[in-house]
Amino acid sequence: MSSPSIQRVSTPYSGVVKLLRLCELASDDVLVDLGSGEGAIPALAALVFGVRKAVGVELDPALVGKSRETASALRLGVDRVEFILGDMFSLDLGKFDVVTIFQSQETIGRLLQKLFAELGDGARVVSYLLPLGTMSPLKLVRPARIEYPFYLYKAPLEYLGDDEAVRLLQEIAGFAEGAEREWALVSASIRG
Ligand SMILES: C[S@@+](CC[C@H](N)C(=O)[O-])C[C@H]1O[C@@H](n2cnc3c(N)ncnc32)[C@H](O)[C@@H]1O
């Protein structure tokens, strides 16, 4: 990744629950965290939100080992939480209802076509920190005490028009200034 600053950073623990709440998880959902780091997102999706299955895919063997230890300590079997050592670009995203992403701009740029091509209609995607290029988000939220915003999308993904893309960029710039915002819907771009 070209942004070493976020390469090993985890979504803050308090943020994980808020991120997962935003996904409106159901008990038959299958979730994947692309680049799962220490594994908190899949573990909490299964433990707290009771999804059918949560998967993490991660390139770093040490992080996958740690994630598997956590799942085992929480008595979450591989039928509930699975950590795959591998490249997210090798995974078929078509089988997932929910995709979570905390990646660099470069990785997101590479992911866009894959998300476009593989996600089934109705699949939800939440990206922490950065938006999915100029795709049209359903929601942008900045929870209290969480450093960066979450962006929620629903497949089929659509590109923003030029004016909307500018407005999105302005709102993102606004996030950088407003440090103390409550969990508030800052922008809602509801399609259709
Ligand atoms: C910013 S961390 C996010 C960790 C976790 N998802 C979270 O939110 O706490 C990004 C992770 O993605 C992993 N990663 C980067 N590129 C990857 C790829 N192509 N396939 C799988 N994992 C990747 C990195 O090793 C790193 O652990």
Per-residue pLDDT tens digits of the chain, which is 192 residues long: 444 456 667 887 888 999 999 999 999 999 999 999 999 999 999 999 999 999 999 999 999 999 999 999 999 999 999 999 999 999 999 999 999 999 999 999 999 999 999 999 999 999 998 999 888 888 888 877 777 889 999 999 988 888 887 887 777 777 655 443 432 333 333 333
Please give the Cα distance from 131 to 57 (Å, whole number): 20
Query: What are the tokens at 127?
Result: 């990206």
pLDDT at residue 13, rounded to an integer: 80
Q: Looking at the DSSP assignment, which residues form a beta bridge with residue 34?
A: 57, 101
| pLDDT for position 192 | 33
CB 87 within 8 A of CB 58: no
Residue 140 bridge partners (DSSP):
151, 187
Give residue 179's pLDDT: 42
Spell out which residues line ligand 1, taking CB within 6 angstroms. Answer: 1, 6-7, 9-11, 33, 35-37, 40-41, 57-60, 63, 87-89, 102-103, 107
Q: Rounded to an integer, what distance in angstroms lies between the CA atom of residue 112 and that of residue 131?
A: 11
Instruction: Give the residue whose CA is nearest to atom 4 of ligand 1.
Output: 37
CATH number of residue 142's parent domain: 3.40.50.150
User: How many separate domains does the chain show?
Assistant: 1
- Please give the model's pTM, rounded to 2 decimal places: 0.89
Rounded Cα gap, residues 49 and 153, in angstroms: 19
pLDDT for the residue 55? 98
Q: How many residues appear in the chain? A: 192
Looking at the chain, the number of H-run helices and the number of E-run strands are: 6, 8
Distances (CA, A) of 189 to 18, 40, 132, 153, 159: 20, 29, 14, 10, 12
Q: Using CA atoms, how far apart are residues 92 and 98, in angstroms rounded to an integer?
A: 13
Domain assignment of residue 67, given as a range: 4-188
The encoded tokens of residue 79 equal: 């039928």
Q: How far is the CA of 168 from the centre of ligand 1 (A)?
A: 25
Q: What is the pLDDT of residue 79?
A: 98
What's the rounded Cα separation, in Å, for the pair 93 and 18? 23
